[in-house]
């Protein structure tokens, strides 16, 4: 696409919004299981495009939440939380109970203050706790 140069003379070129790699990116369609949370999220949508739009908007907003939330953790604190999270899937209730789990875990390592970590987790928002669990990989 061409537009006038800054000096108003000849025509200049504007770079496309998407790079060739971005334009050729192929994600394709995928089957997805709609468990209860997704079924509730998409309940009012009438067709595939509405459902897809709702899921993509929700995912985009979730990624922004992860980008702006979380806690600064020391390596011993991260190791402790990784140990706790190794139970696998973390439900919202289990995420909310992380301070309790920190106090109850037998996990120990040099530099870990479980009481301080539990207090840090108790003062965090749920969005911060989710971001922490996600950053650890669960």
How many domains does one find in the chain?
2
Domain-embedded: residue 2: no
Say how far apart CA 95 and CA 103 lie, in whole Å: 14
CA–chain centroid gap for 20, Å, is 27
C-alpha distances out from residue 135 to 42, 48, 63, 111, 121, Å: 27, 31, 12, 21, 15
pLDDT band at 63 (very low <50, low <70, confident <90, very high): very high
Domain-embedded: residue 44: yes
Q: Which residues span the domain enclosing 39?
A: 35-68
Domain-embedded: residue 125: yes
pTM for this predicted structure = 0.74
Reduce the DSSP state of residue 86 to 3 states and report it: coil
Domain-embedded: residue 17: no
At 40-57, the pLDDT tens digits run: 999 988 888 899 899 999
Domain-embedded: residue 21: no
């Amino acid at each position: 696409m061409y537009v006038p140069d800054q000096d108003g003379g000849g025509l200049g070129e504007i770079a496309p919004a998407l790079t060739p790699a971005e334009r050729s990116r192929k994600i394709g369609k995928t089957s997805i299981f709609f468990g209860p949370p997704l079924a509730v999220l998409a309940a009012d949508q009438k067709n595939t495009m509405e459902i897809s739009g709702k899921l993509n908007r929700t995912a985009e907003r979730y990624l922004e939440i992860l980008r702006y939330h979380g806690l600064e953790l020391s390596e011993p604190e991260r190791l402790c939380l990784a140990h706790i999270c190794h139970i696998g899937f973390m439900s919202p209730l289990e995420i909310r109970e992380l301070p309790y789990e920190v106090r109850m875990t037998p996990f120990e390592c040099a530099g870990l203050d479980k009481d301080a970590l539990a207090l840090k987790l108790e003062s965090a928002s749920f969005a911060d706790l989710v971001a922490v669990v996600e950053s650890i990989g669960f």
